[in-house]
Amino acid sequence: MYLPNCHVAICGLVAGRIREKYYHPTLVFTDSNSEVTGSGRSIEEYNMIENIQKCSDLLSKFGGHKAACGLSLKKDNLKELSDRLNVMSELTEDDLTEKLYIDADMPFGYVSFRVIEDLEKLEPFGVKNQTPVFAVKNLLLVKAKRVGENHLFLSVKDAGGRIRDLKLWRRADEFEEFISERLGTDSNRILYDESLLTSKNILLTVSYYPSVNTFRNNTSIDFTVRDYKFS
């Protein structure tokens, strides 16, 4: 992607957000002096720096590793770089489908402040030390609330009858599309009406990571959703 008005310092951030949304290796370029400068963010199945090296004759400078890179080149070479990288990629549809590896089935009731403290000892998380992912099955969806531009808070009831609040950051639109498969064309009205939603008996399996949230002197456990599906 070529964004001439993007500040060079945030090209990597933009590339990371695009990669996160579409699960494709992504390069974002912007104008920088007499050339274009870009940052790349990759997926597990694609060695970005190895493929960039194959196009070194087009580049003024480059560097990075399997998961990310930075590079500069003449603007006239940008299209050829794009064409070559796409031809060489050999990525399949399966490669471009993100895989989520579950570390353990862990009901919400097992999560305590002590457990979170122990998990924090494993930090920092990154490419070679992935954030742990836990899962819970058969959660009854009882409430949904849209917050801000594209955030969603869900309330679910577990097998023991306890209500838990889950957070989906920047994914409200995505979840609305997902739930429409089950609720049909009137899905949004049902989703945001608690009595109607509960009557539909929608069961979810979710993967999540817990963290501690402190707001206005109140400390609680947050359950941030990584993925979800119908049970």
Q: What is the pLDDT of residue 31?
A: 95
Contact 200, 186 (CB under 8 A): no
Q: What is the pLDDT of residue 226?
A: 92
Q: What is the pLDDT of residue 126?
A: 77
Fold of 8-88: Diaminopimelate Epimerase; Chain A, domain 1 (3.10.310)
Residues 29-54: tens digit of each pLDDT: 999 989 999 999 999 999 999 999 99
Q: What is the pLDDT of residue 216?
A: 85
Residues of 20-58 as b/e, b for ≥16 C-beta within 10 angstroms? Answer: eeebebbbbbbeeeebbbbbbbbbebbebbebbeebeeb
Q: What is the pLDDT of residue 91?
A: 95
Q: What is the pLDDT of residue 33?
A: 87
In the chain, what are the domain boundaries? 8-88, 104-230
- Token pair 């089935």: residue: 105
Q: What is the pLDDT of residue 128?
A: 77
Cα distances (Å, whole numbers) of residue 81 to 69, 87, 96 = 14, 10, 20
Q: What is the pLDDT of residue 228?
A: 95
Residue 216: exposed, middle, or buried by beta-carbon count in 10 A (0-12, 13-18, 19+)?
exposed
| Side-chain-facing half-sphere of 118: CA atoms under 13 Å | 5
Compute the distance between CA of residue 115 and CA of residue 118 in angstroms, rounded to an integer.
Answer: 5
Fold of 104-230: OB fold (Dihydrolipoamide Acetyltransferase, E2P) (2.40.50)
Cis peptide upstream of residue 124 (ω within 30 degrees of 0): yes
Q: What is the pLDDT of residue 21?
A: 87
Compute the distance between CA of residue 24 and CA of residue 222 in angstroms, rounded to an integer.
Answer: 29
Q: What is the pLDDT of residue 167?
A: 93
Q: What is the pLDDT of residue 189?
A: 95
Amino acid letter for position 138: N
Domains 8-88 and 104-230 share a fold: no
pTM over 0.75: no
Residues of the chain under the 70 pLDDT cut: none
